[in-house]
Amino acid sequence: MTTALAPWPAPTADAPVTATVPVPGSKSLTNRALVLAAQAVAPSLIPAPLRSRDTDLMAAALRALGTGIESAGPGGRDWLVTPAPLAGPAHVDCGLAGTVMRFLPPLAATATGPIIFDGDEAARRRPMATVLDALRALGVRVDGDRLPFTVHADGRVPGGTVRIDASASSQFVSGLLLSAPSFAGGIEVRHEGAAVPSLPHIEMTVQALRGVGVRVDDATPDRWRVEPGPVQPWTSTIEPDLSNATPFLAAAAVTGGTVTVPHWPAATTQAGDAIRGLLTAMGARVSIGPDGLTVSGPDRLRGLTADLHDVGELTPTVAAIALFADGPSRLTGIGHLRGHETDRLAALAQDIQAVGGRVDEAPDGFTIHPQPLHGGPWAAFADHRMATAGAIVGLRVPGVLVDDVATTAKTLPGFADMWTRMLGPAVA
C-alpha cells in the first residue's frame, strides 16, 4: 500500500504502451452540477458523477448547508440531490479544492447563519479576496480574506453589478455566476484587468447554467450577466474528465504506443480537449471516432511552442512530454499557475532538474531543453497533476520516485492502479 512515507516507483515501460483506458467523469462538471442542483426547484439525478476527494468535499459541504445528497441508481453510481433551504451554522472543509473554496461562498451567502470555511494548510495560501470582496460589494458580511473565513448569511443577496480582477483564476467568475440565479437581482460580473485565464472553464459554467434553464448573457467580452429565476433539475451527462485523460494519452506519445480513451465527446467545453492539437503539433497521430480518442506516438517527438493561457491545467502533462522531444519547448501564458495547488511552474522546474533536466524559468512560463535524464525524487507538492507528470517521466526514465502518488485521489482515485493496468506487459 502506497503511503506518504513510501515513495511510489513510477513504472518504466520496456515496450510501446498499447491500451484502452476508460476515464471517470469530469470533476469540473460534477461540482458545477452539484451547486446548480442544490438550487433547483426539484430533485436532480446526476448520472455517474466523479467520486473523488474534490467532489466528495463539495457534496459534504452542501450536505452541511442542508442539501440532501445520496447515492442512487444501479450500483449507487449516481447522486440524487434534493434541494432544501440552506442554513448554518455550518463548517465547510474545502480541502485543497479550488471549486469548493471559490464556488460555495456565493451560495452560502444565500443561506442563513454563520458559515465557516477552512481547508488544508496549502489552501490557506491560495488567493480568495477577489470573490470575497465581490460578495461584500453585494452586501454580504464576510470576515477574513483567505481561509479560514466566515460568511454571515441573512438569507438574501440583493445581487447587482460587481467589478473584479479575475486574472488570477477563472474560478472567481464561475463561482459568482453559478449562484447568481438565487440572488434577488441576479448578477452582472465585469472583469477589469489582465486576460482571464482558463476561459473554457467559464464557458463550461455558462453552458451548465443554460442547461438548467438559466438565462445568461455573455455576448460582451469580460462581461457576464445571469438573470435571477428558477433553476431546473440537472439532467445532463457527466463527460469523462479530459484533463485526467491526458497522462494516459501522453503514455502513447512518449513510448511510441497507442492509447484510446473511450467516450471522448465530439464537442465539449473542457480544457482537456486541447490536448488533441498539442499532441498533433508534437508529431503524434490523433483521431476521434466511435471508439473514442486514439493517440499513437511518433518515432520522434517534436519540440513545441505554445501559449497555454486558456488550458494551463495541461502544463504538467505537456512539460513531461516535452522532456523527450527532439528540441526545446517553450510554454507561455501560464504565470497564473503560480497560484494553483502549488506554484506549478517552480515545482515543475525543481522536479525536472532533480532528474537531470534543464528548464529556463520565466515569470510567465518556461523553456524546456531536452537532455539525458536519470532517476531521482519527484515531489508531488500535494498536487495531483504534479504526481501524474512524474508518472509520465517514469515511463522512459528508470528510478523516478513520486513522493505522494496518493494525492491523485483529489480528482482521480485509483490512478496508480489504472496506470499499472494500462502498462500491462509493457511494464519493466
Residue 426: its pLDDT value, please?
A: 63
Question: What count of residues does the chain have?
Answer: 428
Residue with cell 443561506: 111
Backbone φ and ψ of 251, nearest 5°: -60, -40
Cα–chain center distance at 168: 15
Domain 27-226 has CATH 3.65.10.10: yes
Contact 181, 226 (CB under 8 A): yes
**Pairing, β 305-307 against β 358-362:** unpaired
Query: How many beta carbons lie within 10 A of that of residue 380, not counting itself?
Result: 26
Amino acid letter, residue 259: V
Q: What are the respective helix, strand and coil percentages of the chain, to the nearest 5?
A: 35, 25, 40
Give the three-class secondary structure for 301: strand
Q: Yes or no: say if 148 and 124 are a contact pair by the CB < 8 Å rule.
A: yes
Kind of pairing between the strands at 68-72 and 78-82: antiparallel
Distance (Å, rounded) from C-alpha 147 to C-alpha 94? Answer: 9
365 CB contacts (<8 Å, ≥6 apart)? 308, 330, 331, 332, 333, 334, 335, 345
- Phi, psi for residue 277 in degrees, rounded to 5: -70, -35
CA distance 253 to 283: 9
Give the span between the Cα atoms of 358 and 352, in whole angstroms: 7
What dihedral do alpha carbons 259, 260, 261, 264 form, nearest 10°?
Answer: 130
Q: What is the pLDDT of residue 342?
A: 76
Q: Is the N-terminal amide bond of 83 cis, ω within 30° of 0? A: no
- Which of these, 133, 139, 209, 140, lies nearest to 165 by C-alpha position? 133
Q: Are 407 and 390 in contact (CB under 8 A)?
A: no
DSSP 3-state of 362: strand
pLDDT of 1? 39
Domain with CATH 3.65.10.10 in the chain: 8-24+241-426, 27-226
Predicted pLDDT at 428: 57
**CB atoms inside a 10 Å sphere around CB 184:** 12
415-423 and 384-394 helices, crossing angle to 10° = 20
Alpha-carbon span 217 to 288, nearest angstrom: 32
Burial class (CB in 10 A: 0-12, 13-18, 19+), 36: buried
The pLDDT tens digits of the residues spanning 137-190 come to 999 999 999 999 999 999 999 999 999 999 999 999 999 999 999 999 999 999
**Position 15: which residue type?**
A
Residue pLDDT, tens place only, 51-84: 999 999 999 999 999 999 999 999 999 999 999 9
Question: 243 is written with which cell numbers?
Answer: 484533463
For the CA atoms of the chain, what is the radius of gyration? 21
Sign of CA dihedral 6, 101, 40, 244: negative
Neighbours of 214 (CB within 10 A): 23
DSSP character at residue 40: B
Q: What is the mean pLDDT of each successive set of 10 residues along the chain, which is 428 residues long? A: 71 96 96 98 96 97 98 94 97 96 98 97 91 96 97 96 95 97 98 95 98 98 97 96 97 98 95 97 97 97 97 97 98 88 90 97 95 97 95 98 95 96 79
pLDDT of residue 3: 43
What is the SS3 assignment for 246?
Answer: helix
Feature table: binding site: 27-28, 32, 98, 126, 169-171, 198, 313, 340, 344, 385, 410
pTM of the model: 0.91
Catalytic residues: 313
Is 3.65.10.10 the CATH classification of the domain at 8-24+241-426? yes
Can you tell me whether residue 45 is helix, strand or coil? Answer: strand
Give the DSSP letter of residue 11. P
